[in-house]
Amino acid sequence: MIRLVLVAIFLFFFAIYSIPALLITWITGFISKDKRNKMTKRIVSNTFKIILFLSGTKVNVEGIENIPKDTAVLYVANHNSFFDIVISYAYIPYLFGFVSKKEVDKVPGLNIWMRFVGCLFLDRDNIKEALKTILKGIDIIKNGFSLFIFPEGTRSKDGKMAEFKEGSMKLAIKSNAPVIPVAMTNTRDIFERQMPRIKSTKVNLIIGKPIYINELSADDKKTLGNYTKNQISKLIEEHKNI
């Protein structure tokens, strides 16, 4: 339980620190939105790295070189743990925002930081609102800002990937952005397997080669979610013993 206590204490003090930090970041946004985004990325990434350190999580990162530079992409990942967001945002060095469920937008403080890093909040229970969010996401990617999505829609309860929702892949199809498959392994071992304890764990964050939609067959384009899922499955299989 000591790791959980350490993380909780750190988050308490970060909540206090975040008040002036948010104000400074907000003011910076009037000068330059790009500077605000980079400042926020740095603050949140460093915060997440401290959380991983306190939780005893060691991250093996591979494939960063596969991410195209100066190009907006759609990161697509499997989802097993609360820590998936922490790990991916801490160790992927480029600017991007998450497509998250709407409930997260109700968490005071966290919702402001997430908006500052370009996150979108998806209402899965309201088709009309969900479509608006997807359309907004398409515009964001077209304007040069990357997004990150978990197409399973929720965390896996047993470590096995559920079907990827094809609707979420419209973010890439309609924006013609490269899809970056992201595989994370062992992340359930940090917290979910023995809640509420946090266990020291070695995890893998593997970035696959980009998928360029215009190079796919017509059938693979129609089932881009399933195609991407298969690429992630291969990455997981290759790194299951690492």
pLDDT tens-digit readout, 60-88: 999 999 999 889 999 999 999 999 999 99
- Provide the pLDDT for residue 59: 97
Mean pLDDT of 215-237: 95
The whole-number pLDDT of residue 137 equals 94
- Residue 198 is assigned to a structural domain of this protein: yes
Over the stretch 141-178, which tens digit does the pLDDT of each residue have? 999 999 999 999 888 888 889 999 998 899 999 999 99
148 close to 98: Cβ distance less than 8 angstroms: yes
Per residue in 189-217, pLDDT tens? 999 998 989 999 999 999 999 999 999 99
* Residues contacting residue 16 through CB under 8 Å, at least 6 positions apart: none
In a domain, 85, yes or no: yes
pLDDT at position 117: 81
Q: Which of 34-43, 206-215, 232-241 has the highest mean pLDDT?
A: 206-215
Q: Is residue 14 situated within a structural domain?
A: no
Q: What is the DSSP letter of 177?
A: P
105 domain residue, yes or no: yes
Which structural domain, as residue segments, surrounds residue 209? 57-238
Asked whether residue 23 is domain-assigned, the answer is no
Mean pLDDT of the chain: 91
Report how many domains make up the chain: 1
CATH number, domain with residue 63: 3.40.1130.10
What tokens appear for 171 in the block?
A: 């973010």
Per-residue confidence band for 114, with pLDDT thresholds at 50, 70 and 90: confident
> Is 68:94 a contact under the CB 8 Å cutoff?
no
Cα separation, 25 vs 43, in Å, equals 10
Rounded Cα–Cα distance for residues 238 and 242 (Å): 8
Task: Determine, yes or no, domain membership for 228.
Answer: yes
Task: Tell me the chain's radius of gyration from C-alpha atoms.
Answer: 18
For residue 71, tell me if it sits in a domain.
Answer: yes
> pTM score, two decimals?
0.93
C-alpha span between 157 and 205 (Å, rounded): 19
17: in domain:
no
- Inform me whether the pLDDT recorded for 108 exceeds 70: no
Distances in whole angstroms, Cα of residue 7 to Cα of each of 2, 189, 202 = 9, 16, 18
